Structure 1
């Protein structure tokens, strides 16, 4: 299964562009939230991580939607 993750940092920002790109990339289910990236306690992101299984694909439009730096990204394995 291909999953997408869309996030904006403030409530006045829009998710529509990211969602469209994720759909074009083949995401069958998209998790989305308006939540600051300065914390790793993002509820929808945590739900997504619990959903992912071996063989699934995670799609993001930009790496900073997933993690703020390499160390944080590697800790997510």
Structure 2
């Protein structure tokens, strides 16, 4: 069975072009979303995937309708492959029902993995360079060292409630607890 999926990013956009192309391709059911591809939750796509069975073909107008990023597209493809569902993209004339189409998707997957590895390497090198210059990552402390010591002292004395200490110091409970934990390590 051919199952169609169409998506537009905003309510202002029209699904007619995609709908017509999917009907011409022989789709018996068409599921739609009117939201950005960045959103993880796409109810129309989830419905299409819940209806699709092994041997069915999910038909889309263009690859970018299925996912905004290559990573997202590859993840969706892996899900389809695991369930035995084929994919056909009309505009790009790519179909996983052929060995050539599967090859193209595996090449996309290899390129996506390569891209992720490059990003990891660049990020790691950037963090290493920043540390070498004395920069530490993370959010700056809310209080200066002497005020942190005072907050811990008030906590240990036990004369004030946690809420009172936090209100006096202008910090949250988790922040106070992190200062107490930090002081116990030194």
Q: Same fold (TM over 0.5)?
A: yes
Q: Distance in 2 between matches of 1:62 and 1:15?
A: 13
With the length of structure 1 as denominator, give the TM-score of the two structures. 0.92
Is 2:75 the counterpart of 1:50? no
Cα distance, 1:60 vs. partner?
0.4
Gap runs ≥5 in structure 2: 80-186
The worse-fitting range, judged by mean Cα deviation, of 18-27 and 32-41 is 32-41
Q: Distance in 1 between matches of 2:40 and 2:66?
A: 10
Q: Distance in 1 between matches of 2:70 and 2:49?
A: 17
Report which of the two structures shows the higher radius of gyration computed on alpha carbons. 2
Cα distance, 1:54 vs. partner?
0.4
Is 2:36 the counterpart of 1:36? yes
Alignment correspondent of 2:17: 17
After the TM superposition, list the runs of 4 or more consecutive aligned residues in structure 1 that deviate by more than 2 angstroms: none
**Count of aligned residue pairs for this structure pair:** 77
SS at match of 1:58: strand
The worse-fitting range, judged by mean Cα deviation, of 44-53 and 54-63 is 44-53
- Ranked by relative contact order (alpha carbons within 8 Å, sequence separation 6 or more), the top structure is 1
Gap runs ≥5 in structure 1: none
RMSD: 1.0
Alignment correspondent of 2:104: none
Is 2:64 the counterpart of 1:70? no
With the length of structure 2 as denominator, give the TM-score of the two structures. 0.40
Higher helix residue share: 2
Higher strand residue share: 1
Cα distance, 1:63 vs. partner?
0.3
The worse-fitting range, judged by mean Cα deviation, of 11-20 and 63-72 is 63-72
